[in-house]
């Protein structure tokens, strides 16, 4: 297994030519990224975290290209939107005719904590063979008012409660990385992160 922190690196195309697990991390890194699974039993796990402040506009496109059988790819994109920031996410899972028995997923979760922040999500599938498992999903929500009310009833200010919920959202992202068996230091994970 290998772990690659892609933030601020120039490579946009990553080709997996051997079996095994590779984990990729992006933090506040816009751009077009392509992950090509060209070897049977190659596994790519891609995690992208965005924290938007002020009027920052993030845009990311991630292509998961399965060219070999029995390959696996999973994408997790999380966005915490503040102020007037925005995120545009586009994702493509492409399963080639030669890539049967592959599994792929895309998950995009957005938490908006201001009235003017926004998120746009465009996941897509192109499946050209049978016997595969593929799914995608996207959710965008605002901070739950009941959660804020509960915190206030315990003497926590609205600003502190919002920060606690934002911190929990960010921690859930790091938890998803640990679930695939990667345990880099928090300083490595949070490189480039601004909350």
SS3 3: strand
pLDDT over 90 (residue 135): yes
pLDDT over 90 (residue 122): yes
Determine the Cα–Cα distance for residues 46 and 36; give it in Å rounded to an integer: 12
Residues 37 and 73 sit within 8 Å (Cβ to Cβ): yes
The answer to whether the pTM exceeds 0.85 is yes
Intra-chain end-to-end CA distance of the chain, in Å: 30
Q: H or E element: which one contains 187? A: helix 186-189
Q: CB atoms < 10 A from the CB of 103, how many?
A: 17
Mean pLDDT, rounded, for 142-149: 86
Instruction: Return mean pLDDT, the chain.
Output: 91
- Of all residues in the chain, the percent with pLDDT exceeding 90 is 70
Mean pLDDT, rounded, for 3-8: 83
Residues 12 and 33 sit within 8 Å (Cβ to Cβ): yes
pLDDT over 80 (residue 185): no
Determine the Cα–Cα distance for residues 88 and 136; give it in Å rounded to an integer: 16
The sign of the torsion formed by the CA atoms of 155, 146, 176, 187 equals: negative
């Amino acid at each position: 297994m290998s772990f690659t922190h892609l933030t601020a690196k120039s490579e946009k195309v990553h080709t997996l030519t051997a079996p095994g697990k590779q984990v990729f991390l992006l933090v506040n890194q816009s751009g077009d990224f392509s992950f090509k699974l060209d070897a049977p039993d190659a596994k790519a796990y891609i995690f992208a975290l965005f924290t938007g402040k002020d009027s920052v506009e993030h845009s990311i496109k991630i292509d998961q290209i399965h060219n070999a059988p029995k390959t696996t790819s999973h994408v997790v994109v999380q966005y915490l939107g503040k102020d007037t920031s925005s995120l545009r996410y586009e994702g493509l899972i492409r399963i080639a005719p030669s890539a049967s028995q592959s599994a792929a997923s895309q998950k995009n979760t957005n938490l908006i904590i201001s009235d003017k922040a926004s998120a746009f999500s465009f996941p897509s599938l192109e499946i050209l063979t049978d016997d595969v498992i593929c799914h995608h999903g996207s959710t965008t929500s605002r901070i739950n008012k009941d959660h804020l009310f509960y915190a206030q009833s315990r003497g926590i200010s609205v600003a502190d409660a919002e920060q606690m919920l934002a911190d929990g959202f960010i921690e859930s992202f790091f938890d998803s990385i640990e679930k695939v068996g990667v345990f880099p230091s928090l300083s490595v994970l949070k490189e480039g992160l601004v909350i």
